[in-house]
Amino acid sequence: SITDTDFVELLERAKASPANPKADPVRFDGQVAIVTGAGGGLGRAYALLLGKLGASVVVNDLGAPMAGQGSDSRAADLVVNEIVKAGGKAVANYDSVEEGEKVVETALKAFGRVDILVNNAGILRDKSFVRMSDADWDLVQSVHLRGTYKVIKAAWPHLNKQKYGRIVNTASAVGLYGNFGQTNYSAAKAGIVGLSKTLAVEGARKNIKVNVIAPNAGTRMTATIMPPEMVEAFKPEYVAPLVAFLSSSASEETGGVFEVGSGWVAQVRWQRTGGAAFPANRTLTPEQVRSKWSQAIDFEDGRATHPTTPGDSLNDFMANFDNGGD
Chain positions contacting ligand NAD, by CB under 6 A: 36-37, 39-43, 60-64, 66, 68, 75, 96-98, 120-123, 143, 147, 170, 172, 215-217, 219-222
For ligand NAD, the closer CB: 40 or 51: 40
Least CB distance from residue 62 to ligand NAD, whole Å? 4
Q: Please provide residue 132's backbone torsions phi and psi, each rounded to the nearest 5 degrees.
A: -70, 130
Strand order in 32-35's β-sheet? 89-93, 56-60, 32-35, 116-119, 165-170, 208-215, 257-261, 264-268
Residue partners of 297: CB distance under 8 A and separation at least 6 = 273
Q: Catalytic: 185?
A: yes
Residue 47 or 55: the one with the smaller Cβ distance to ligand NAD is: 47
Asked if residues 101 and 144 have their Cβ atoms less than 8 Å apart, the reply is no
Find out whether 246 and 259 touch, Cβ atoms under 8 Å: no
Identified catalytic residue from 46, 94, 185, 238:
185
CA angle 28, 31, 37 (to 5 degrees): 90
DSSP category for residue 302: S
Rounded to the nearest whole angstrom, what is the least distance from the CB of residue 272 to ligand NAD in the complex? 26
Helices vs strands, H then E, count in the chain:
14, 8
31/172 with CB nearer ligand NAD: 172
Measured from the CB atom, the residue of 98 and 298 that comes closer to ligand NAD is 98
SS3 for 118? strand
Residues 230 and 218: their CA atoms lie apart, in Å, by 7
Q: What is the amino acid identity at position 225?
A: I
CA-to-CA distance for 244 and 286, rounded, in angstroms? 50
Q: Which is nearer to ligand NAD, 211 or 216 (CB)?
A: 216
- Minimum Å distance from CB 95 to ligand NAD? 7
CB 106 → ligand NAD: shortest distance, Å?
Answer: 12
Cα gap 172→151, rounded to integer Å: 19
Active-site residues, by number, are 185
